[in-house]
Structure 1
Amino acid sequence: MKRHLSLALAAALLAPAVQAIELTRDLGLELNAGIYSDYRTRGISQTQNDPALQGSATLLHGSGLYAGVWGSNVDFGHGSSTRQEQDYYAGYYWQIDDDIALDLSYIEYVYPRQSEFNYGEYQVELSAYGAFLGGKYSNDMAGDQSYLYSYLGYRATLPWELGLELRYGQADYKDPVFLSASGDDRDSYQEWESKLSRSLLGLDWSLSYVDTDLSEAECAGYYGFEDVCSATVVAGVSKTF
């Protein structure tokens, strides 16, 4: 899932007038819709490198509590009957001071017509002075497979109001699930992303470079396609209400 509590959204938690639709003095609703040239999560395409239409609705409370739903089209191929991902999430955002914040959440991933793909995930992210460090853990992915995704990165505003986000992450599985062409196996892989963004003409534009260290053989062996883990550029445009 691409959703994460951005600094702009975090500000909306405590100042609903930023972007969220004000429902009451303490409660706001943020709506977002966007189209992207690919749906990549943790470096892996969920649409076989095809475009994705995505949207979300998030209730934001002035206390820092939030809850919402996020959705996207997906395509896992190989006769998969699901064509949609629906994520339900709830969490607490603690603004410790102007520069330091902590985000705690739980996310339930649902794939209609293919419930064996469903799983839940706990997330924590600490951000300070533009840097961020986080982790996501699931103990019910693909049956009894546990999974830990840890990441770190940096967000900054460049000249001309350009947003910059750099992220490096590592996904660790309980069992060795990636098999190389030489027969070696491993239980983890690394991924990274560099993203530029800018608001223009009332829309939010983004351009990302995404890559992983998985070989074509490792990618094909686990995900079924050799090109869904390779380097790509993802362009996107979205609108927040």
Structure 2
Amino acid sequence: MKIKFACAAAALTVAFASNVAFADDAPAPTPDFTVTGSAAIVSQYRFRGISQSDNKATGQASITLSHKSGFYVATWASGATAGNSTVNIGGSEIDVYGGYTHAIGKTGLTFDGGLYGYLYPGNDLNEYYELYGSLTKAYGPVTAKAGLNWAPKQSYFTYFNTPTKYNMYEYFELGLAVPKTPITVHAHIGHTGGGFNYVKEYLDYTAGVSYKWKNLTLDLSAVGTNIGKSDAYKAPLTDQLGNLNPQQTFRAAKSVAVLSLTASF
């Protein structure tokens, strides 16, 4: 009897221990809400190939609140810079946006779409909004993304009397996560057509490499446009002093190397 009792007790102990282990090993339930963010230092701020920081270094930060259903809201900001650029955003920029992202059945495609607002506290005449949408798909270590941003008729186009009262931006991106390394190679090409033309309807591009260590990412990219010196001299823009300045017009659009260090949480 003692032996049987000892065996039964041992079996009960093992079963209990197993249950505890299984409970401890069980994955945690997905939280309803998730908060993520980042802070970065960049050698200069380029938006769709055009310098927004007079080719000078600045700081940037973002924070996103996501729901497990796929809905999210976020904000992104870039610090103020001074200079004599042909691009006057009034110093700092604050973007506010929200949308929905979700996998499309068993296609392997992920949809992301929503509304994006660009706010400029130092120059509110520049403020505008866009509707955006994109599709992303992974092919092993390669990720492909195609999307568009549409800015419908609004006060920006009316105030600046742009020839076209809307803007369309289309882009395509490729990323390669190099297997068994913390390195990612990425490329982007975009097309701006409409009220946000810079000198002319133009293409922008980015090609770079990122290195990730823990929550830090170091990136070096070539960024530029197909706007040449001849384009800038044919249709120079006005600088911050009110002068037509072909040199500054080209400087904001020429190809440059951009270095950034981003911390994510």
Deviation, structure 1 residue 131:
1.3
Q: Structure 1 223/55 Cα, relative in aligned 2: closer, same or farther at 3 Å? A: farther
Superposition CA RMSD, Å: 2.5
Residue 44 of structure 1 corresponds to: 50
Q: Structure 1 94/222 Cα, relative in aligned 2: closer, same or farther at 3 Å? A: farther
Which structure has greater helix proportion? 2
Q: Structure 1 195/141 Cα, relative in aligned 2: closer, same or farther at 3 Å? A: farther
Deviation, structure 1 residue 203:
1.0
Q: Structure 1 132/59 Cα, relative in aligned 2: closer, same or farther at 3 Å? A: same
Question: Separation in 2 of the partners of 1:99 and 1:81?
Answer: 39
Residue 138 of structure 1 corresponds to: 151
1:151 equivalent among 134, 149, 171: 171
Q: Is the counterpart of residue 199 in structure 1 residue 220 in structure 2?
A: no
Q: Which structure's CA Rg is the greater one?
A: 2
Deviation, structure 1 residue 41:
0.9
1:164 equivalent among 185, 189, 193: 185
Q: Matched residues, percent identical?
A: 25
Structure 2: runs of 5 or more not aligned: 1-27, 159-164, 240-247
Deviations 1:71-102 (A, max 9, x none): 00244745958211000000101122583201
Structure 1: runs of 5 or more not aligned: 1-16, 179-185
Residue 92 of structure 2 corresponds to: 84
Amino acid at match of 1:56: S
1:104 equivalent among 103, 109, 113: 113
Name the count of aligned residue pairs: 212
Which structure has greater strand proportion? 1
Question: Which range is displaced more, 199-208 or 50-59?
Answer: 199-208
Deviation, structure 1 residue 217:
5.1
The SS at the match of 2:125 is helix
Deviations 1:27-79 (A, max 9, x none): 01112100000101110010011012000111011001010111002447459
Amino acid at match of 2:66: L
Deviation, structure 1 residue 132:
1.1
Residue 8 of structure 1 corresponds to: none
TM-score, normalised via structure 1 length: 0.79
Question: Separation in 1 of the partners of 2:198 and 2:49?
Answer: 16
